[in-house]
Amino acid sequence: MRTDSFVKTVIIFLLIYVSDDTIIFGTNSSKSSFLIKITIFIALMLTVIIRIYILNIKIPKRYFELLIIIIIMILATAIFNRDIKFGYYYHIFHLTLAFFVTIYIPLDEMLLKYDKVMFIITVISIFGYLLEVSNVAFYKNFPVIINISNNKFYNLLLTTIIAKNMGVPRNYSFFREPGVFQMFLILALIVQLFYFKNMSIKKVVVYVAALLTTKSTTGYIALAILLIVYVFKNYDSKKQLFRKIFILTLSLISFVYLLLKTDIIISKGTYGSVFGKFINNYEYRSLYTRVSSVMTNIKIFLLNPFFGMGSSKVRNLFPTMEYVKMGGYSSSHNTNHVLAQFSTYGFLFGLLNLVGYYRFSRLIYDDWFIKIGIFIVLNVILLGENLSANVMFSMIMFYGYCPVANKRIDNTHFIKNIKEI
User: What is the DSSP secondary-structure string of 10-76?
Assistant: HHHHHHHHSSTTBTTTTSBS-HHHHHHHHHHHHHHHHHHHHHHHHTT----HHHHHHHHHHHHHHHH
Confidence label for 238 from pLDDT (cuts 50, 70 and 90): low
Q: What is the pTM of this model?
A: 0.88
Radius of gyration of the chain (CA): 21
Got the DSSP string for 105-134?
Answer: S-HHHHHHHHHHHHHHHHHHHHHHHHHHHT
- Both 111 and 172 in one domain: the answer is yes
Domain count for the chain: 2
Q: In angstroms, rounded to a whole number, what is the distance separating the alpha carbons of residues 9 and 13?
A: 6
pLDDT at site 258: 59
Domain boundary among 309, 337, 365: 337
Q: 370 and 325, same structural domain?
A: no
**Which runs of consecutive H residues, i.e. helices, occur in 138-277?**
178-190, 201-214, 217-231, 238-261
Answer yes or no: is 44 within a domain: yes
**What are the angstrom distances between the C-alpha of 214 and each of 73, 183, 186?**
36, 11, 12
Q: Are residues 75 and 20 in the same domain?
A: yes
pLDDT given at position 154: 94
Is the model more confident about 126 or about 295?
A: 126
Identify the domain containing residue 101 by its residue range. Answer: 2-233+346-412
User: Stretch 108-122: mean pLDDT, rounded?
Assistant: 97
What is residue 415's predicted lDDT score, i.e. its pLDDT?
Answer: 44
What is the spatial distance between Cα 421 and Cα 205, in angstroms, rounded to a whole number? Answer: 23
> Region 141-160: what's the mean pLDDT?
93
Residue type, 377: V
pLDDT, tens digit (0-9, with 9 covering 90-100), for 386-408: 898 899 999 999 999 998 665 44
Closest to 174 measured CA to CA, from 105, 128, 141: 128
- Are residues 103 and 186 located together in one domain of the fold? yes
Which pLDDT value is given to residue 2? 77
| Residue 210, in any domain of the structure | yes
Given this model, what pLDDT does residue 206 score?
96
Mean pLDDT confidence for 228-233: 86
- Please say whether the beta carbons of 385 and 293 come within 8 A: no
- Round to whole Å and give the CA distance between 401 and 108: 15
318 confidence band (pLDDT: 50, 70, 90): confident
- Note whether 143 and 184 are same-domain residues: yes
pLDDT, one tens digit per residue, over 258-310 is 555 455 555 555 555 555 555 555 445 566 666 777 888 888 999 999 999 99
Q: 90 and 26 share a domain?
A: yes
Q: What is the pLDDT of residue 317?
A: 85
One domain, residues 135 and 91? yes
- Check residue 147 and give its pLDDT: 93
Q: What is the pLDDT of residue 305?
A: 94
173-183 residue pLDDT tens? 999 999 999 99
- The mean predicted confidence, pLDDT, of the chain is 85
Residues 332-366 pLDDT 10s: 667 788 999 999 999 999 999 999 999 999 999 98
More confident residue, 385 or 92: 92
Residue 262, in any domain of the structure: no
Mean pLDDT value of segment 42-52: 97
d(CA 384, CA 306): 25
- What DSSP state is assigned to residue 386? -
Residues 102-106, mean pLDDT to the nearest whole number: 96
Same domain, 296 and 362: no
Q: Is there a single domain that holds both residue 327 and residue 381?
A: no
Same domain for 122 and 87, yes or no, is yes
- Give a yes or no: residue 66 inside a domain: yes
Within 13 Å of residue 283, how many CA atoms lie on the same side as its CB? Answer: 4
Q: Is residue 153 part of a domain?
A: yes
- Output DSSP code: residue 154: E
280 located within any domain: no
Predicted local distance difference test score (pLDDT) of residue 331:
57
pLDDT at 13 over 70: yes
Q: Do residues 186 and 291 share a domain?
A: no
Classify each residue of 261-296 as buried b or exposed e, where b means 16 or more C-beta atoms within 10 Å of its C-beta.
Answer: eeebbbbeebbbbbebbeeeeeebbbebbbbbbeeb
Q: Residue 409 pLDDT more than 60?
A: no
Q: Does some domain include residue 204?
A: yes
Q: What are phi and psi of 176, to 5 degrees?
A: -70, -25
> To the nearest whole percent, how much of the chain has pLDDT over 70?
81
Residue 19 falls inside a structural domain: yes
- Domain final residue, candidates 337, 359, 376: 337
Same-domain check for residues 71 and 117: yes
Domain boundary residue among 296, 317, 337? 337
